[in-house]
């Protein structure tokens, strides 16, 4: 039932002692990084500043902007030759935030994922099809290593290519899959096209759904279509990637692995801790990381700690499914997108105004993005071909930047309503 019973059920007092010891070690380690050594000198902080877990509040937060400003190596806490792997956040071909791992980090991370998957019932005898992008994105290799640690047979299918996914699933009798929820819905339409019924024609009994927000209703819908149990998987590249928090068989919140991460929930406005059980922004400190430990990293994800003890016996607290973000980042098909990226690209194209609107839609099974863009009036008076060429050019430029293909609609100047205050850049029509 447990991958590591001792750690997973460690009593709270012991767990907190372990956290404090690991936190102190981590702070010592971060003193070796360019960024934190400077910061600690300025603020007169050191590992000695930590007598209790609450003392973490003496330390400043770390943000994505800090990571960007000290790109690429400003946060590494070991000599470069000890690093064995690099990953980055999903989306953007530009300077995505990068993270680095030592061999020990990879081993700890794989173990966390093995713990997550084992918790849901996956075993050595399973065939695991990983339908996530391999490469820089953490969802591919992260799960891959974890599943191998359990000893399962891993099919590194990667993302996309739906017919082949289905073929692999049937030929090799896949029993466990890892999939982005929006892709699980899309894939079900391909089953229908092929006149197959996933409930009858496959042997999949467990799915891990991660990388993007989804509602309870959407999970139940996916479970209904496929006839498997789907478990919510949360993580972010700055904290390794997947394997941060994961649902147990009770499917009531995700256990956040507190032997590896120190958790705080703060009010995103006042930056003060919220009362237990209240919603706020998740802030995390990696307390087992060697390559690039981060202190008080602001995830910008909104959630809350679910009060009370989980009947599964694990003592690590649970967070509720992610409710939203405190910044304007969107996630489409598992890819992170900041509206600013679109604005920057559009500004580089002559005759294109800066007024634009992103519309996200979900028909029953597919997610899509439309970017409405205002362009110079002359395009509407002249040749339709010219307009079409401009449309294609914008679509290509955006695809190059965002890594997904948006639909582009060109409209006349001033046709996108301007509000009084801050421009509304995004309309998200995605419901369940």
Distance of CA 271 to the CA centre of its chain: 22
Binding partner of residue 312 among ligand AMP, Zn ion, none, CB cut-off 5 to 8 Å per kind: Zn ion
Q: Which stretch binds ligand AMP (CB under 6 A): 38-46, 58-66, 227-235, 268-276?
A: 227-235
Binding partner of residue 248 among ligand AMP, Zn ion, none, CB cut-off 5 to 8 Å per kind: Zn ion
DSSP characters for 294-326?
-SSEEEEEEE-EEPS--TT---S-EEPPP-EES
SS (H, E, C) 40-61: HHHHCCCHHHCCCHHHHHHCCC
Binding partner of residue 310 among Zn ion, ligand AMP, none, CB cut-off 5 to 8 Å per kind: Zn ion
Signed CA dihedral, 6, 8, 9, 15: sign only = positive
Which stretches of 205-318 are DSSP H helices? 216-226
Binding partner of residue 230 among Zn ion, ligand AMP, none, CB cut-off 5 to 8 Å per kind: none
Site string for ligand AMP, 74-103 (x = CB under 6 A): ---------------xx-------------
* Residues paired with residue 375 on neighbouring β-strands, in sequence order: 352
Interaction between residue 241 and ligand AMP (CB under 6 A): yes
Site string for ligand AMP, 300-339 (x = CB under 6 A): -x--------------------x--------x----x---
Q: Tell me the CA distances in angstroms from 366 to 132, 182, 332, one per residue in order.
A: 17, 7, 11
Site string for Zn ion, 299-318 (x = CB under 5 A): -----------x-x-x----
Neighbours of 377 (CB within 10 A): 12
| Whole-angstrom distance, CA of residue 156 vs CA of residue 154 | 6
Site string for ligand AMP, 12-41 (x = CB under 6 A): ------------------------------
Q: Which stretch binds ligand AMP (CB under 6 A): 23-31, 127-135, 207-215, 349-357?
A: 207-215
CB of 265 to ligand AMP, least distance (A): 14
List % helix, strand, coil for the chain (3-state, nearest 5).
35, 25, 40
Q: According to CB under 6 A, which one of 237, 286, 355, 368 is a site residue for ligand AMP?
A: 237
Q: Which is nearer to ligand AMP, 40 or 298 (CB)?
A: 298
Burial of residue 205 (CB within 10 Å: 0-12, 13-18, 19+) is middle
Interaction between residue 213 and ligand AMP (CB under 6 A): yes
* Residues paired with residue 360 on neighbouring β-strands, in sequence order: 369, 428
CB of 234 to ligand AMP, least distance (A): 4
Interaction between residue 236 and ligand AMP (CB under 6 A): yes
* Residues paired with residue 330 on neighbouring β-strands, in sequence order: 337
Q: According to CB under 6 A, which one of 210, 243, 293, 406 is a site residue for ligand AMP?
A: 210
Binding partner of residue 375 among ligand AMP, Zn ion, none, CB cut-off 5 to 8 Å per kind: none
| Whole-angstrom distance, CA of residue 175 vs CA of residue 296 | 38
Interaction between residue 212 and ligand AMP (CB under 6 A): yes
Q: According to CB under 6 A, which one of 232, 240, 355, 368 is a site residue for ligand AMP?
A: 232
| Whole-angstrom distance, CA of residue 40 vs CA of residue 36 | 6
CB of 112 to Zn ion, least distance (A): 15
Side-chain half-sphere exposure of 229, counting CA atoms within 13 A: 12
| Whole-angstrom distance, CA of residue 28 vs CA of residue 9 | 28
Total interface residues for ligand AMP by CB under 6 A: 19
- DSSP state letter for 415: -
Note the residues at the interface with ligand AMP (CB under 6 A): 89-90, 138, 210-213, 232-237, 241, 299, 301, 322, 331, 336
Note the residues at the interface with Zn ion (CB under 5 A): 248, 250, 310, 312, 314
């Amino acid at each position: 039932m447990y991958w590591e019973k001792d750690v997973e059920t460690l009593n709270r007092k012991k767990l907190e002692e372990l956290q404090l010891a690991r936190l102190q070690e981590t702070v010592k380690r971060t003193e070796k990084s360019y960024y934190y050594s400077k910061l600690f000198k300025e603020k007169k902080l050191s590992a000695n500043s930590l007598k209790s877990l609450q003392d973490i509040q003496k330390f400043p937060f770390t943000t994505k902007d800090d990571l960007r400003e000290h790109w690429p190596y400003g946060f590494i806490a070991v000599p470069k030759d000890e690093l064995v792997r690099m990953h980055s956040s999903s989306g953007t071909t530009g300077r995505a935030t990068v993270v680095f791992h030592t061999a020990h980090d990879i081993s700890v991370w794989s173990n966390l994922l093995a713990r997550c998957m084992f918790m849901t019932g996956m075993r050595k005898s399973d065939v695991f099809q990983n339908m996530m992008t391999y490469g820089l994105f953490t969802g591919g290799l992260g799960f891959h290593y974890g599943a191998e640690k359990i000893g399962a047979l891993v099919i590194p299918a990667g993302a996309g290519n739906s017919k082949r996914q289905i073929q692999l699933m049937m030929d090799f009798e896949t029993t466990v899959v890892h999939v982005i929820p929006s892709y699980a819905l899309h894939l079900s339409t391909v089953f229908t096209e092929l006149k197959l019924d996933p409930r009858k024609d496959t042997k999949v009994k467990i799915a891990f759904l991660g990388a993007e927000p989804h509602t309870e209703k959407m999970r139940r819908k996916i479970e209904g279509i496929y006839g498997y149990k789907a478990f919510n998987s949360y993580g972010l590249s700055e904290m390794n990637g997947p394997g941060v928090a994961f649902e147990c068989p009770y499917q009531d919140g995700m256990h956040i692995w507190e032997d590896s991460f120190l958790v705080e929930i703060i009010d995103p406005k006042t930056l003060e801790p919220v009362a237990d059980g209240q919603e706020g922004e998740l802030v995390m400190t990696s307390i087992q990381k060697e390559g690039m430990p981060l202190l008080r990293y602001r995830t910008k994800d909104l959630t809350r700690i679910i009060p009370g003890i989980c009947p599964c016996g694990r003592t690590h607290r649970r967070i509720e499914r992610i409710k939203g973000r405190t910044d304007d980042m969107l996630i489409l098909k598992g890819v992170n997108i900041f509206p600013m990226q679109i604005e920057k690209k559009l500004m580089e194209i002559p005759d294109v105004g800066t007024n634009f609107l992103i519309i996200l839609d979900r028909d029953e099974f597919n997610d899509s993005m439309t970017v409405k863009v205002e362009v110079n009036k002359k395009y509407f008076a002249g040749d339709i071909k010219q307009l079409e060429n401009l449309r294609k050019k914008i679509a290509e430029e955006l695809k190059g930047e965002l890594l997904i293909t948006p639909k582009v609609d060109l409209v006349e100047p001033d046709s996108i309503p301007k509000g009084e205050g801050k421009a509304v850049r995004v309309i998200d029509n995605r419901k369940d």
